[in-house]
Chain A
């Protein structure tokens, strides 16, 4: 029986999407947790270098990107809500806004990277920039993957029937997108803000 079906007088509580996606998210979060530990460990060994590196980062770009991803997460949550009640047009609109924020994030990230490159900083500069480029780059890869999944949903769900077949997928992509957002908030705090 589909666990989402509720029978009268007996309410089933189910967590969104399927267990497999939670396993994926847990695994991915553990990898990033290791990144954070590595970053903190290397920072504790070379505090001056890391603070000097942090001061070259553009806080405005980082801040705007945080806002963009948080906003995108809001729209993603709205999209999932609309999918659950089967409202096609608002769903597509919310998905479009999520993707707009994601694109904004990628554009700012590109500007930020090219700003760093023209300033003479690159991945082999020192321990701080190795971590900075590796971790934010790997996160950007996650954003790109998320955008591809969103694009897939946007292009292939064109009718209300699409919701019934794809509700699990929509919730899964939603969860993944929230994870990407969460990871950025931690990355931003750790790399840009923590003195």
Chain B
């Protein structure tokens, strides 16, 4: 059994760092989130980059640094998953690799938008193309964290004890969140605001916040469980 306390400290620190850097960077400084409507005209997009040149680059830089801190948190998850598994820890490896994908697809669009903000005097078509490219890249892929959640859900459900390590409804909720984020591939069909556009109800508000709420809830449940019973094993076999 890997000592619990350092794992939980790593998880909480990395969660706080990600949240602080990403939320402050994207929501407050760069003003990229909540996302702008895909229906903005080219002139409006260019104007946005013109007016906020420095704050965009500052916020996006903070945010991409913040995404890096997601990795330690996810790898702590893999350590726990590996303890549940017998033989080769398939779900732990799968979850860890998918975490890398999630981090890449969350961080990469920031560089595309930075390129748009870097030389605001370039032609408007190029700025709006980079803007679209960034948003499609940011909002469309969801299979990375879908797989992460499915791995966590399946391993959680393997625990059939009366008092499981994490409540079983959390695992079912993970599977539901994994399904709930699936409509994101519809994003590129929307050139105006709508429920499945990159700022839409299902593809932004639900797909972005439901995994976050789930992971925060999970970290607190696990930390609380370990505080109560430090020696509780992850699996009842």
A161 → B minimal CB distance (Å): 16
Cα A138 to Cα B195 with chains together (Å): 14
A78 → B minimal CB distance (Å): 25
Cα A21 to Cα B202 with chains together (Å): 22
Which 7 A-B pairs have CB atoms at the shortest separation, nearest pair first? A20-B172, A24-B172, A20-B169, A20-B168, A23-B169, A27-B176, A38-B195
Secondary structure at the A interface, as helix, strand, loop or mixed, is helix
Query: What 4 new A-B contacts, CB under 8 Å, besides A23-B169, A24-B173, A27-B173?
Result: A20-B168, A35-B202, A134-B183, A134-B186
- Supposing A34-B202, A38-B195 touch, asked if A138 and B183 sit within 8 A by C-beta, the answer is yes
Q: How many residues of B contact A (CB 8 A)?
A: 22
13 contacts between A and B (CB under 8 A): A19-B169, A20-B172, A23-B172, A24-B175, A31-B206, A34-B201, A35-B195, A127-B194, A130-B189, A130-B190, A130-B194, A138-B182, A141-B179
B68: chain A residues at CB < 8 Å are: none
Secondary structure at the B interface, as helix, strand, loop or mixed, is helix
The answer to whether the Cβ of A115 comes within 8 Å of any Cβ in the partner chain is no
A129 → B minimal CB distance (Å): 10
> In the complex, how many residue pairs between chain A and chain B have their CB atoms under 8 Å apart?
54
Q: How many residues of A contact B (CB 8 A)?
A: 22
Cα A21 to Cα B175 with chains together (Å): 10
> Quick check: B180 and A18 within 8 Å, CB to CB?
no
Residue positions of A touching B, CB distance < 8 A: 18-21, 23-24, 27-28, 31, 34-35, 38, 123-124, 127, 130-131, 134, 138, 141-142, 145
Cα A18 to Cα B172 with chains together (Å): 10
Residue A20 contacts which of B171, B183, B186, B196 (CB distance < 8 angstroms)? B171
A60 → B minimal CB distance (Å): 27
Interface residues of B in 173-232 (CB under 8 A from A): 173, 175-176, 179-180, 182-183, 186, 189-190, 194-196, 201-202, 206
Residue B196 contacts which of A19, A28, A134 (CB distance < 8 angstroms)? A134
Cα A142 to Cα B175 with chains together (Å): 13
A38: chain B residues at CB < 8 Å are: 195, 201
Interface residues of B in 145-172 (CB under 8 A from A): 157, 167-169, 171-172
A35: chain B residues at CB < 8 Å are: 195, 202
In the complex, what residue of chain A is closest to B180 when comparing beta carbons?
A31
> Quick check: A19 and B168 within 8 Å, CB to CB?
yes
In the complex, what residue of chain B is closest to A28 when comparing beta carbons?
B176
- Supposing A27-B176, A130-B194 touch, asked if A141 and B182 sit within 8 A by C-beta, the answer is yes
